[in-house]
Amino acid sequence: MTGNQDGARVNYYKGTCQRPPAEALVLQRKYARTMPIPSPRALPASYRLCGGQRKIAFVLVLLLVSALLGLGAGPRRAAASGATAGAGESIYARWQQVLAAYVDDEGLVDYAGLKERGSDDLKAFMDTLAQTDPAAFSTDAERMAFWINAYNAVVVWQAVERYPIDSVRDVGALWGLVGGFFKNKYPIAGTQMSADNIEHDTLRAKFKDARIHWALVCGAFGCPRLLNRPYLPETLEQQLAEQTHEFLRQPRALQLDRDTGTLYLSSYFKWYEGDFEADSGTVVDYVLGTAPDEVVTYIEANRDGLRVRIMDYDWALNDQRKGPRARRPIPR
- Give the tens place of pLDDT for each residue, 146-183: 999 999 999 999 999 999 999 998 887 555 555 689 99
**Looking at residue 331, what is its pLDDT?**
76
**Looking at residue 125, what is its pLDDT?**
98
Percent of the chain with pLDDT over 90: 68
**Looking at residue 83, what is its pLDDT?**
53
**Looking at residue 179, what is its pLDDT?**
65
**Looking at residue 174, what is its pLDDT?**
56
Q: Any residues with CB less than 8 A from the CB of 265 and at least 6 apart, and which?
A: 253, 254, 283, 287, 308, 309, 310, 311
Name the least confident of 13-27, 173-187, 192-206.
Answer: 13-27
Assess whether pLDDT exceeds 70 at residue 280: yes
Strand partners of residue 254: 265
Whole-model pTM above 0.85?
A: no
Assess whether pLDDT exceeds 90 at residue 58: no
CA-CA-CA-CA torsion sign (277, 280, 281, 284): negative
Q: With bands split at pLDDT 50, 70 and 90, how would you rate the model's confidence at 145?
A: very high
What is the full DSSP assignment across 84-104? B-STT-BTTHHHHHHHHHHB-
Percent of the chain with pLDDT over 70: 71
61-108 per-position pLDDT tens digit: 455 544 444 433 333 443 444 455 433 358 999 999 999 999 999 999
Burial class (CB in 10 A: 0-12, 13-18, 19+), 231: buried
**Looking at residue 332, what is its pLDDT?**
83
**Looking at residue 56, what is its pLDDT?**
52
Query: Which one, of 162, 182, 150, 163, lies nearest residue 110 by Cα?
Result: 163
Task: Please state the separation of Cα 270 from the chain's center in Å.
Answer: 27
Domain ranges of the chain: 13-79, 93-252+311-327
Mean pLDDT over the full length of the chain: 82
Mean pLDDT computed over 259-273: 98
Strand segments (E) across the chain: 186-188, 191-193, 254-257, 262-265, 307-310
